[in-house]
Chains A and B, each alone.
Chain A
């Protein structure tokens, strides 16, 4: 639904609750620093979607149009790519403001699959496959490669190897839907000859909890990863992206 921007706004009747809440949680929000120059909107591929763009989003915040902020789907079309912040002369972190507005919705009011990806990752990983399936799939794919490609008969995919020099995370998409996509990276690591390991717990590197808007969920999943890697004693944590 497009915004009815042409309507006259009665400033006196607006409470600016959303702005106040943001400024409490993020004192460096500096919403009032906005010069309305529009550099953000010029370079944003989400400009025009749902009748909004980063500059208009900041106007809604500054003026206090809370109802529009709480109902617009634009906050889910903004991909938090931060191209706007990259060019903002006043260093306004628009993406973070969008996340804070996302977080003001109750979990039930959020896009179902977005919240679900995070809920699943909080339990173990973002596709929700059991950890034992991950371990099994890695072993099964490895065995297949070793049998079918004689030149890779000694390929490794170590699991929970204490003290390995490198820890490798794994986006859950691969073991869940395209397990053969794990093999090229194993081959590269083998060729380079590094000592690496996966973990059978908190192995997923998708990190969807950054997106629904609850920082405590994001913190929880990163903390679990950090504890896992430190418990394995690996000095380097490799992200596969």
Chain B
């Protein structure tokens, strides 16, 4: 999880020589530089995609620039016309409800009641696929989709990048 390392290095003043980056930033950079070539031609059926902004990466981590990078990558991979954004989004998006240890803590009813906000928001987009670039979000969004009877698929981003690689 991005924020724990980013903020941990900062708050505890931990000496280090490396630069700490998110893979999302790199995907976008590599596509822009032409090092990662992707083509949305595979999506002939027009599968519709939406996205979950991980709180720890976006609101608490890098902010809107990484949310923009995330959308840039998805649009390059699935076709711009096949991306439907959520509202509210980016730094103002809702948490999935699985973060902060909620998935581990075990208060399942509360976690799902919380997650109903996310479920309704995602369902409203009408998208077939929800891209969740965070493991906690992935687990929670799958669970609330199943629990509330949703029909969308929940996946990581990397599967679709590989599909679009040329």
Contact = CB atoms under 8 A, between A and B. Distances in A.
A79 B1 contact: no
Contacts of B159: 184
Interface stretch (A17-25, A134-142, A202-210): A202-210
Contacts of A192: 30, 35-36
Contacts of B17: 230, 235
Contacts of A219: 8, 11-12, 14
A113 interface: yes
A187 interface: yes
A158 B29 CA distance: 23
Contact of A238 (B23, B134, B165): B23
A49 B111 CA distance: 9
B142 to A, nearest CB: 12
Nearest to B26: A238
A234 to B, nearest CB: 6
A184 B4 contact: no
Interface residues of B, number: 63
Given A83-B59, A241-B57, A205 B5 contact: yes
A76 B30 CA distance: 38
A161 interface: no
A185 B23 contact: yes
Contact of A45 (B18, B94, B106): B94
B4 A222 contact: yes
B101 A77 contact: no
B56 to A, nearest CB: 8
A112 B94 CA distance: 27
Given A83-B92, A205-B5, A209-B4, A239 B59 contact: no
Interface in B89-136: 91-92, 94-102, 104-107, 110-111, 113-115, 117-118, 133-135
B59 A230 contact: no
Interface string A151-166: 0000000000000000
B19 interface: yes
A114 B105 contact: yes
Nearest to B161: A188
Interface string B50-75: 00001111011000000000000000
B5 A222 contact: yes
Interface of A: 45-46, 49-50, 73, 76-83, 86, 95, 111-114, 116-117, 167, 171, 173, 181, 184-185, 187-188, 191-193, 205-212, 215, 218-219, 221-223, 225-226, 229-230, 234-241
25 contacts: A45-B94, A79-B95, A79-B96, A81-B59, A81-B94, A81-B95, A83-B92, A113-B105, A181-B156, A184-B159, A187-B162, A191-B165, A192-B36, A211-B104, A212-B101, A215-B11, A219-B8, A219-B12, A229-B16, A230-B17, A237-B18, A239-B1, A239-B2, A239-B23, A241-B24
Interface of B: 1-5, 8-9, 11-12, 14-24, 26-27, 30, 35-37, 54-57, 59-60, 91-92, 94-102, 104-107, 110-111, 113-115, 117-118, 133-135, 156, 158-159, 161-162, 165
Given A77-B102, A80-B101, 14 more contacts: A45-B118, A76-B101, A79-B102, A80-B99, A83-B55, A181-B156, A187-B165, A192-B36, A207-B8, A222-B8, A225-B5, A235-B19, A236-B19, A239-B20
